[in-house]
Amino acid sequence: MPSGSFGARLMEQIDELASLVERARVIAGFTGAGISTESGVPDFRSPDSPWRRHQPIPFEAFLSSPEARREAWRRKFAMDDIYRDARPSRGHLAIASLINSGKMPAIITQNIDGLQQEAGVPAAKVIELHGNGTYAACLSCRARQELAWIREVFEVTGDPPACPVCGGILKSATISFGQAMPEEAMRRAQELTLACDLFLAIGTSLVVYPAAAFPLIAKQNGGTLVIINREPTDLDAFADLVVRGEIGPVLAPFIGRRD
Ligand SMILES: [Zn+2]
């Protein structure tokens, strides 16, 4: 929806959002794929998404099968080519402003695209529940490794390299299907959720548990819950305010604000 054709109802919702943000002391933000669609990152839930072309490779298979690892890296590099030109959206920039204002201590995200950091938020303030796909890590010693040299080796030899530090298996630093949720990120997300008086769920359909429990935890803890999403979500009935619209135009007014 172009911003010029906002309905009166949506304008009211955005005004209400602005006053909730203004009154809040501590804001927890929680983002999903919807904040990155304007950036050109495919939403894996849409029917034509390239993410849907393949069955996910379970973490167990990745660990046990060299062929599964080769297939995982082939897919990874093909996907990287698709969203190589992705840039932060207006939603990412608005979140960066809220964080710079000091009211939002950190952003919790289900996204792996690193665009929130690219929008100017320090990595330490991005709580990544599903990891980060812009680099790799060793599954044994956890050392971070950059994708560029891994890809070079892969393209020359047909095999991903082993960890140069310990010889362990390298994997994109994302949380795969079947892999445990990252404890530290989950703990920090829970802390922020309990500390906030305003919880903003942005661009997420809120169906992926356990992450989707955070909005309810905030609500049960006395916080105000706002859901901003293009589509209805399972938790709309629990929200104090639902803003049904595209993330970019809805959050654009918050870019550069210091309240
Ligand atoms: Zn290692």
**CATH number belonging to the domain at 1-41+88-130+182-259, selected among 3.40.50.1220, 3.30.200.20, 3.20.20.30, 3.30.300.30:** 3.40.50.1220
Q: Is the pLDDT of residue 214 over 80?
A: yes
Q: Is the pLDDT of residue 215 over 50?
A: yes
What class does CATH assign to 42-82+133-174?
Answer: alpha beta
8 A C-beta contact, residue 257 and residue 99: no
Distance 122 CA to ligand 1 centre (A): 25
Percent of the chain with pLDDT over 70: 92
Tell which phi-psi region holds residue 207, choosing left (phi > 0), alpha (psi between -120 and 50) or beta.
alpha
Q: What is the pLDDT of residues 37-96, one digit of tens each?
A: 899 876 655 656 655 667 889 999 999 999 999 999 999 999 899 888 899 999 999 999
Query: What pLDDT is stored for residue 52 in this prediction?
Result: 61
Mean pLDDT score, 134-138: 97
* Domain ranges for the chain: 1-41+88-130+182-259, 42-82+133-174
Mean pLDDT score, 115-134: 97
Mean pLDDT score, 132-154: 97
More confident residue, 8 or 240: 240
**What mean pLDDT is reported for the chain?**
92
Q: Is the pLDDT of residue 26 over 80?
A: yes
Distance 228 CA to ligand 1 centre (A): 40
Extended strands (E) in the chain: 27-31, 107-109, 126-128, 131-138, 144-145, 170-174, 198-202, 224-229, 241-244
Q: Residues within 5 Å of ion ligand 1 by Cβ?
A: 138, 140-141, 143, 163, 165-166, 168
Q: What is the pTM of this model?
A: 0.91
Q: Nearest 5°: phi and psi at 126?
A: -110, 115
Q: Is the pLDDT of residue 206 over 60?
A: yes
Active site residues: 130
Q: Is the pLDDT of residue 258 over 80?
A: no
Q: Is the pLDDT of residue 137 over 70?
A: yes
Q: Give the separation between CA 121 and CA 108, rounded to whole angstroms.
A: 12
Confidence of residue 207 (pLDDT cuts 50, 70, 90): confident
Distance 168 CA to ligand 1 centre (A): 5
